[in-house]
Amino acid sequence: MSQQSKIDEVVDKIEADIIQGVFAAGQRLPAERILADELNVSRATIRTALLRLQAKNLIEIVPRGGAFVRSGTAKIVMGDTNAIIPKNMGPELQKVGSFIHLMRAQGKEVIVRYIEPSSIVPAGSEISKQLKIDIDEKVLRRYRVQIVDRVPYRMLDTYLLASLMGELVGQEDHQAPLFHWLKREKNIIASKVSEKLSCRMPSAEEASILNMARNQPVVQMHRHIWGTTKEDEILFEYSRIICNAALHDFQYHYSIDDEALL
């Protein structure tokens, strides 16, 4: 077999693996040495094949970092966006109230898979601090992964006040936005969101659930949501969200204070 034929064969094999989901979006391909051994070709052949795959927009070669599968779907833009970016029209919850409904409005197929069944549990020390409630107070836990066009985008571990939303245990939260339900059933208006972001490497469990490599970063978001009644403001939700960083962009706009110009 000629050298060119070997390169074509390697390109076809890796491309087929990407299309079939053997290598997921954002995943790092095995090292050149491993690919060469598996496919019984030289490292020079692998290197040339990877350059061809990059030219076909299937992978991204990062110097001294490896080759990574490019996302076959558009990134989700979170945060303040503007008309230049044709994704969502504002922060995720501001206009739509639901990531799921935001994606469906764009014609995407969305599946929510529960990692554990929803349940009523005591808040415990960590969640009680996040929601500012007693340690023994009950919360509704929803632990799930959101899959868009068959690609796992992010994991959510959500805790809701059971005193308000305990009746939702066992019900799928993607049939109607929670904010709509709260307004209709409890006369509570979702009013304020706080989000804290950090970037890190995934745990083994997170990498497995998100179908990504351990050396690919995730963005962790701590989200708190408040609602208002006629008399009070209530912190009713805390979520820890783990996002595949390769599938999300976070964009924000803010003004510069006059004092910064002094």
Report the pLDDT value the prediction gives residue 165, as an integer from 0 to 100: 94
Distance of CA 143 to the CA centre of its chain: 14
Query: From CA 244, how far away is CA 125, in angstroms rounded?
Result: 28
Given CATH 3.40.50.2300, say whether it is the number of domain 76-250.
no
User: What tens digit of pLDDT does each residue of 110-131 get?
Assistant: 888 999 999 999 999 999 999 9
* Fold annotation for 3-69: Arc Repressor Mutant, subunit A (1.10.10)
Spell out the domain ranges in the chain: 3-69, 76-250
User: What tens digit of pLDDT does each residue of 44-103 get?
Assistant: 999 999 999 987 778 888 877 889 887 665 666 666 545 444 343 445 555 445 677 777
Q: What secondary structure, in 3-state letters, does 31-57 show?
A: CHHHHHHHHCCCHHHHHHHHHHHHHCC
Report the pLDDT value the prediction gives residue 98, as an integer from 0 to 100: 67
Q: Give me the chain's average pLDDT, please.
A: 84
User: What tens digit of pLDDT does each residue of 135-185 get?
Assistant: 999 999 999 999 888 788 899 999 999 999 999 998 865 566 788 889 999
User: What tens digit of pLDDT does each residue of 172-210 get?
Assistant: 655 667 888 899 999 999 999 999 999 999 999 998 898
Report the pLDDT value the prediction gives residue 89, as an integer from 0 to 100: 41
